[in-house]
Amino acid sequence: MTTKDIPKKNISNEEIRFTADVHSNLKRNPNFKKLSQDDILYFQSILPSNALTIESDSNQEELMAYNVDWLRIHRGKSKLVVKPKTTAQVSNIVKYCNEKKLAIVPQGGNTGLVGGSTPIFDEIIISTKNLNQIREFDPISSTLICDSGCILEILDDYLAERGHMMPLDIGSKGSCHIGGNVATNAGGVRYVRYGSLHGTILGLEVVLPDGTILDNLSTLRKDNTGYDIKQLFIGSEGTLGIITGVSILASRRHKAISVAVLGLNSFENVQNAFITSKEMLTEILSAFEFWDDKSLKMVKTHLDQSAKFPLDEYPFYALIETGGSNKDHDEEKLSEFLETVMEKGIVKNGIIAQDNTQMKSLWSIREGIPDAGMKAGSAYFYDISIPIPVMYKIVEDVISKLKNAGLYGKPVIDVHGFGHVGDGNLHMSIITESYSPKIINLVESCINEWTEKYKGSLSAEHGIGLMKSKILENSKPKVMVDIMRKMKYIFDPNGIMNPYKFFPYQKYEELKV
Amino acid sequence: MTTKDIPKKNISNEEIRFTADVHSNLKRNPNFKKLSQDDILYFQSILPSNALTIESDSNQEELMAYNVDWLRIHRGKSKLVVKPKTTAQVSNIVKYCNEKKLAIVPQGGNTGLVGGSTPIFDEIIISTKNLNQIREFDPISSTLICDSGCILEILDDYLAERGHMMPLDIGSKGSCHIGGNVATNAGGVRYVRYGSLHGTILGLEVVLPDGTILDNLSTLRKDNTGYDIKQLFIGSEGTLGIITGVSILASRRHKAISVAVLGLNSFENVQNAFITSKEMLTEILSAFEFWDDKSLKMVKTHLDQSAKFPLDEYPFYALIETGGSNKDHDEEKLSEFLETVMEKGIVKNGIIAQDNTQMKSLWSIREGIPDAGMKAGSAYFYDISIPIPVMYKIVEDVISKLKNAGLYGKPVIDVHGFGHVGDGNLHMSIITESYSPKIINLVESCINEWTEKYKGSLSAEHGIGLMKSKILENSKPKVMVDIMRKMKYIFDPNGIMNPYKFFPYQKYEELKV
């Protein structure tokens, strides 16, 4: 269970990879005002000085950390970061920006993977990092209310002391903000059990693009009075407003947790093991993850994990986590499951973690794959929803097409498949020596073919951001995209909220209802 | 687990209770066209004759079943019921209605409790009863796609044969349609475990008010491409479109189910038993229901249940259901739980059902309360979300206020509290000798005080419909209601879809964006 810190310092220009290419089709929207000294004076009048980062000779590095995304693909040129501490401050900032037509990008932990949380041009960055108070927790109804800038892991630790846990868990939990999780509809490794944030978010407080505070911080599990407006903000990536408060249904923390890792000879058997786990571990199954042999090798090479992995080499590995209220019962179920899948020849070998340290070590293999990829070369990550039976066929097809084009080996170093079997959510990383449009085009056209054929999704859990804004129009029927445009226009007629993302800028003028 | 058949025949005018009063403030929207012979000829040209019920001397009773709601409070005057068999037929009907400005009311199983599924004036009824095909089921990903007119219990039986179950279960499952469940965001008795339809609905097919078919029948568990538009239709009660197809995530069916019933001396102990059950039965707890002694007496008197209840008299009863993959484990957990709560004095007596017949018999007590209420007198049902600690205080306060006003005993026969403890969802029934605005006003002002004070909801799971359209404006902040109005206008500029519901008719002209 690793944590990912956002790069705060020492990002050199050389490390930023292909900003120019990604941004080349975009032009700054001339309707947006440029930041002036008067604007800065205004923000200084409503915020304490430590809530502002204003461009100067001495703070280029500090500003860079907000302008560059985690993947170091995108770099904006914002000259101002505001870090409000209250919802009222957010409201005042946004109201002013809307009146002046100053564009805004809301930013949480800046751990997104699609360039949604960094500016493209000179948008003002509104960071939620100082909105970090836990407001209340009710252990009877298991409801937590907190500011949107609370870090996921801190919330989970807080709940742990109260016998509860957050209903989501993702690799970046050490730095991502709950508001960002909601804004991007984060999925993660325990989704197979606790499901979507659309089900567990009970209420939101949102500052709308005109500065109005929408207070819907309900803790009610059931409330059928009117359309469920808060659902629109879940996954809207800051394009409809800035989430400032979150009410979420926590889960009881498990008294017993077990982790097993399996070695398997084929992806078909990964699938068979998953089906059997659903049948035999039903109510205690918390995670079913997989990775291929090349992913493991990469983690062993680039992270300090080689000594810790207890299985021999197999083409595929699966990690199963169970959580329940009775350790003996859970262990009995898990042992019976392992016996069954090994007797049937589905699993070649499997071990149950002996202690907490080994559990963490096994998880760190799975969660270390993106980090290892970033160290192995220029890494590109894909995030695909597709029916489970064909999940890994995409990886095989991409490799075969790269081979045919003479690109595999060099400049493409390797292609890895891993991800959330239980959700039909494949992650694929392409590690190259350096960025090449030729490789990306080949890979993406291959992925498009598969998702089109099997009605999959080109963004299972990472969102649209800037990087995938071209796919939105082809991912959903025109009638749905038209409705989305209308929504955007209703909430944000000036288009100041996270511009250039989601809907390509060029068509913004068409949004009018 | 009773089934409720919609009243199909023999509804006399005397049985309809207070139609006039509920409708007295409403006037037919003069913008709507009246049904003409030409319209009927058109519908006859696009639909087979058995898909139409047109008013005639001989079919008054048949038409009445569609015009009157389950509670027999609301009666419309529709002269035409259309029963399309395909989405294309629904689309053609709606397109025509929109062009001609003929108002529509979509109707599923007509089991709603707020007058949302019956016409007010002469709206054309579009029944989903012939949209009843199961389209596909994938046992690997546990996803079911079906027409919206499929009956909930039939879907659950279909899934039972395939090792799965529907993630919701409500008293009216024998006649309610899954499309109606989605349109009203139905909750029910297993919500505490499987959560909201906002989390389990994966995709919808909807005919929009202009006849356009919105095809979003995805079976993907994760898909973060764009705003999650389908969420808007969940709980929109047919005011934004007609749901024709549903994709839903099924759950694994439990190999073992246990039911226990508890006798308790106070509501505080009901709450304590619930807290302990969450702690000790965590992952296998499927339902935690309660009812008071008067509810039990009413069921014993009016339904044939008296011989079947195994406990002596206590002020409160709770029903616990567990479901899991290992019968021995579950029984051990449940026995330990019972020992604990009885040792601590939380529960005075408790028994575990010995067989399937006794389980059903215990459930039929809880699920029989509304039916018994309908037989006991003129029954009014309330559906309140409120923090668990104050749930039953509302019932006590209502009784005390009725006593002070000299109304308790006669004309109010009794007041009962029951419902879903785990969701903080109280149902309260007021049984009277006959309808009286004085009683209703007293009861409702009392409920309003409590929900306002504790940020509760006046409609936890029943929706708004006609009956609660007055509360919407006070239930949510103005900014949210304004957004709802704009949504309605975007989807349905002519206002033909289930008019007079949700938003009071008088203000429809203000909807324009």
| Helix pair B327-343, A327-343: axis angle to 10 deg | 180
More confident residue, A326 or B305: A326
pLDDT of residue B18: 47
Of the candidates B187, B226, B475, which has its C-beta nearest A225's C-beta? B475
| pLDDT tier, B164 (very low <50, low <70, confident <90, very high otherwise) | very high
Per-residue model confidence as pLDDT tens digits over A450-472: 999 999 999 988 888 888 877 88
Distant-in-sequence, close-in-space partners of B355: CB < 8 Å, separation ≥ 6? none
| pLDDT tier, A71 (very low <50, low <70, confident <90, very high otherwise) | confident
* Contacting residues of B for A274, CB less than 8 Å apart: 140
Tell me which residue has tokens 């310092």. A9
Which of B14-23, B85-94, B110-119 is predicted least confidently? B14-23
The number of beta carbons lying within 10 Å of the beta carbon of residue A329 is: 22
Residue of chain B whose Cα is closest to the Cα of A214 = B479
In whole angstroms, give the CA distance from residue A141 to residue A145: 12
pLDDT of residue B70: 87
Report, as an integer, the average pLDDT of A85-101: 98
Residue B228 reports pLDDT greater than 50: yes
Give percent above pLDDT 70 in chain B: 93
Mutation for testing the A interface, residue in B91, B205, B228, B283 having most A CBs under 10 Å: B283
Q: If you write DSSP's letter for every residue of A35-89 in order, what string do you get? A: P-HHHHHHHHHHS-GGGEEE--GGGHHHHHHHHB-TTS--B----EEE--SSHHH
Residue A148: which of A165, A127, A164 has the closest Cα? A127
Q: With DSSP H G I counted as helix, E B as strand and the rest as coil, what are the percentages for chain A, rounded to 5? A: 40, 20, 40
The answer to whether B268 and B391 have CB atoms below 8 angstroms apart is: no
Token pair of B84 as six digits: 């399309």
Q: What type of residue is B483?
A: I
HEC string of B77-125? Answer: CCCEEECCCCHHHHHHHHHHHHHHCCCEEEECCCCCCCCCCCCCCCCEE
Dihedral through CA A416, CA A420, CA A423, CA A424, nearest 10?
A: 20
Per-residue model confidence as pLDDT tens digits over B189-198: 889 999 999 9
Residue of chain B whose Cα is closest to the Cα of A140 = B275
Per-residue model confidence as pLDDT tens digits over B114-136: 889 999 999 999 999 999 999 99
In whole angstroms, give the CA distance from residue B353 to residue B310: 9
Helices (H), A224-266: 230-233
Of the candidates B198, B232, B456, which has its C-beta nearest A199's C-beta? B198
Mutation for testing the B interface, residue in A192, A214, A225, A332 having most B CBs under 10 Å: A225
* ipTM metric: 0.93
| Contact: B163, A484; criterion CB under 8 Å | no
The answer to whether A111 and A175 have CB atoms below 8 angstroms apart is: yes
The answer to whether B165 and B250 have CB atoms below 8 angstroms apart is: yes
In whole angstroms, give the CA distance from residue A499 to residue A502: 8
B222-to-A165, A196, A235, A463, A485 alpha-carbon distances in Å: 22, 8, 11, 10, 22
Domains of chain A by start residue, with CATH: 13-127 (3.30.43.10), 134-252 (3.30.465.10), 255-376 (3.30.70.2190), 377-468 (3.30.70.2740), 474-511 (no CATH)
| Contact: B284, A282; criterion CB under 8 Å | no
| pLDDT tier, A17 (very low <50, low <70, confident <90, very high otherwise) | low
Report, as an integer, the average pLDDT of A361-384: 92
| Contact: B456, A425; criterion CB under 8 Å | no
Mutation for testing the B interface, residue in A184, A223, A224 having most B CBs under 10 Å: A224
Q: Is the dihedral of CA A340, A345, A346, A351 positive or negative?
A: positive
In whole angstroms, give the CA distance from residue A443 to residue B31: 55
| Contact: B279, A229; criterion CB under 8 Å | no
Per-residue model confidence as pLDDT tens digits over B378-417: 888 899 999 999 999 999 999 999 999 999 998 889 999 9
CA distance B405 to chain A (A): 30
Query: Do you know the residue count of chain B?
Result: 513
| pLDDT tier, B474 (very low <50, low <70, confident <90, very high otherwise) | confident
Q: What type of residue is A237?
A: E
Report, as an integer, the average pLDDT of A344-363: 95
Strands B80-82 and B124-127: parallel
Residue A1 reports pLDDT greater than 60: no
| pLDDT tier, A307 (very low <50, low <70, confident <90, very high otherwise) | low
Q: Is the dihedral of CA A261, A262, A266, A269 positive or negative?
A: negative
| Contact: B140, A220; criterion CB under 8 Å | no
| pLDDT tier, A8 (very low <50, low <70, confident <90, very high otherwise) | very low
In whole angstroms, give the CA distance from residue A345 to residue A265: 10
Mutation for testing the B interface, residue in A200, A283, A384, A512 having most B CBs under 10 Å: A283
The number of beta carbons lying within 10 Å of the beta carbon of residue A303 is: 17
The answer to whether A108 and A179 have CB atoms below 8 angstroms apart is: yes
Give percent above pLDDT 70 in chain A: 93
The answer to whether A71 and A16 have CB atoms below 8 angstroms apart is: no
Per-residue model confidence as pLDDT tens digits over A416-450: 999 999 899 999 999 999 878 889 899 999 999 99
CA distance A203 to chain B (A): 12
| Helix pair A356-376, A293-302: axis angle to 10 deg | 90
pLDDT of residue A400: 97
Q: What type of residue is A425?
A: N
pLDDT of residue A359: 95
Residue A151 reports pLDDT greater than 50: yes
Token pair of B433 as six digits: 């000798």
- Give A418's strand partners: A291, A427
| pLDDT tier, B509 (very low <50, low <70, confident <90, very high otherwise) | low
Consecutive H or E run containing A320: strand A316-324
Tell me which residue has tokens 């039965």. B281
Residue B7 reports pLDDT greater than 60: no
Report, as an integer, the average pLDDT of B432-453: 90
Of the candidates B423, B458, B483, which has its C-beta nearest A221's C-beta? B423
Residue of chain B whose Cα is closest to the Cα of A202 = B196
Report, as an integer, the average pLDDT of A9-38: 69
Of the candidates A200, A222, A459, which has its C-beta nearest B385's C-beta? A222
Report, as an integer, the average pLDDT of B59-86: 92
| Helix pair A437-453, A391-404: axis angle to 10 deg | 140
CA distance B290 to chain A (A): 16
Give percent above pLDDT 90 in chain B: 78
pLDDT of residue A506: 43
| Contact: B218, A324; criterion CB under 8 Å | no
pLDDT of residue A410: 87
In whole angstroms, give the CA distance from residue B429 to residue B446: 14
Residue B19 reports pLDDT greater than 70: no
Residue A9 reports pLDDT greater than 70: no
Of the candidates A274, A385, A471, which has its C-beta nearest B220's C-beta? A385
Mean of the per-residue pLDDT values of chain A: 91
Of the candidates A231, A252, A326, which has its C-beta nearest B198's C-beta? A231
pLDDT of residue A77: 93
pLDDT of residue A11: 47
pLDDT of residue B378: 87
Mean of the per-residue pLDDT values of chain B: 91
